[in-house]
Amino acid sequence: MEQKNIMEYDTVSLKDQEDGVAIIDQTKLPGEIQVILLKTADEIWDAIYQLKVRGAPAIGVAAAFGIYVLAKQIHTKEYPVFLEEFQKHKRYLDSARPTAVNLSWALGRMEEVVKRQKDRPVEEIKELLKEEAVCIQEEDIQVCKSIGEFGLTLLKPGDGILTHCNAGKLAAVRYGTATAPIYLGQERGYGFRVFADETRPLLQGARLTAFELASSGVDVTLICDNMSGAVMKNGWVNAVFVGCDRVAANGDTANKIGTSVVAAVAKQYGVPFYVAAPTATIDLNTLTGEDIVIEQRDPKEVTAMWYQAPMAPEGVKVFNPAFDVTSHTLIDGIVTEYGIARPPYETSLREIFDRKKKK
Ligand code: MRU
């Protein structure tokens, strides 16, 4: 049987009849497209921690569906017991990864439903949780599309675009964030040329971005992380578009490790550097990048993973932060679903949220 195109699969979906959350296991891509069903708290936590589902928006959607599936398994009619169990699951899922704010944002939205509806029977609250989770998933599609429309205004046909990590469909529900202008441009015949950083150590650029863009017919060239300077110096890049895991109130942005290097190189060569950011990923309670917790990961991701035999001396010290913070001073614009924020971000990001409130 012919394999479906990766773009035809849902990154995350609810399988209510089967009491589970279905995800594409992204650790297997691009070699194998395997959809797995997560049913227990440990399976959901592990899938997020192991990056089987990853990318800030997709983590949020998986957590929302996940906590609904777990809430269904709480067998009580007593609201206080239900709330306590629900919050236990929430704290546990929230501990899977610290940097992407979408995880706590989505779980917080789900908890709000439980608290707001405290006078309703528990069974009705469960139904409302399902509606909220579906809403989070559906909103993501619209949010990414709007980011794409605003992002497209920063580009012209034939442009070269460099991106880092995977902020694509595989990191969201559809379109992705940083890739949304690329996909919309593709639909409209813009003929973009995309450079995808391979993104050491977990290779999201090579395994995921290059895969999904090539599967969609986009002209994509894979480069090693240390080649972005060379392609920019050659004049092949007109704009950098990256995603984000948390944007602080001053515009400092946490994204996949290596992003800040790309931003510094872009500044050197006068290439505009844009962050595609759903408002769900903007955290005005975090004042600056200094306040963002950066996830540290297993040294083996650097020393041994992907190699037939470990390629580093045994016991060598390893520093393996999953993200870094790009200073707001290196960011030319933050593209949200409500428009493009420009420096100074303290005021422009607040204006974006004012627009959101009025909608
Ligand atoms: O560790 P990952 O693969 O979850 O990191 C993903 C990123 O850094 C993405 O750029 C970010 O989450 C934005 S996804 C739209």
Fold type of domain 6-143: Four Helix Bundle (Hemerythrin (Met), subunit A) (1.20.120)
Cα 116 to averaged position of ligand 1 atoms, centre (Å): 31
Q: Is 238 helix (H, G, I), strand (E, B) or coil?
A: coil
The binding-site residues of ligand 1, defined as CB within 6 angstroms of any ligand atom, are: 51, 54-57, 100, 165, 167, 171-172, 176-177, 204, 243-245, 255-256, 322
Per-residue model confidence (pLDDT) at position 3: 75
- Decide: residue 2, CB within 10 A, 0-12 exposed, 13-18 middle, 19+ buried: exposed
- Asked whether 41 and 93 are in contact (CB, 8 A), the reply is yes
Peptide bond into 30 cis (omega under 30): yes
Predicted model pTM: 0.97
- Asked whether 281 and 248 are in contact (CB, 8 A), the reply is no
Per-residue model confidence (pLDDT) at position 282: 98
Round to whole Å and give the CA distance between 24 and 243: 20
Given the residues 197, 245, 283, 332, select the one marked as catalytic: 245
| CATH code for the part of the protein at 148-358 | 3.40.50.10470
Q: Which residues of 69-93 are buried (b: 16+ CB within 10 A; e: fewer)?
A: bbbeebeeeebeebbebbeebbeeb
Per-residue model confidence (pLDDT) at position 171: 98
Cα 53 to averaged position of ligand 1 atoms, centre (Å): 10
- Which residues, listed in sequence order, are joined to residue 274 by a DSSP beta bridge? 241, 333
**pLDDT per residue over 48-95, tens digit each?**
999 999 999 999 999 999 999 999 999 999 999 999 999 999 999 999
Per-residue model confidence (pLDDT) at position 1: 61
Based on the residue annotation, tell me whether 252 is a catalytic residue of this protein. Answer: no
Which atom in ligand 1 lies closest to the alpha carbon of residue 176?
15
For helices 122-152 and 101-116, the axis angle rounded to 10 degrees is 140
Give every residue of the chain whose pLDDT is below 70, as ranges.
Answer: 1-2
Return the domain boundaries, the chain.
6-143, 148-358
| 155: DSSP letter | -
Cα 204 to averaged position of ligand 1 atoms, centre (Å): 9
Round to whole Å and give the CA distance between 240 and 161: 6
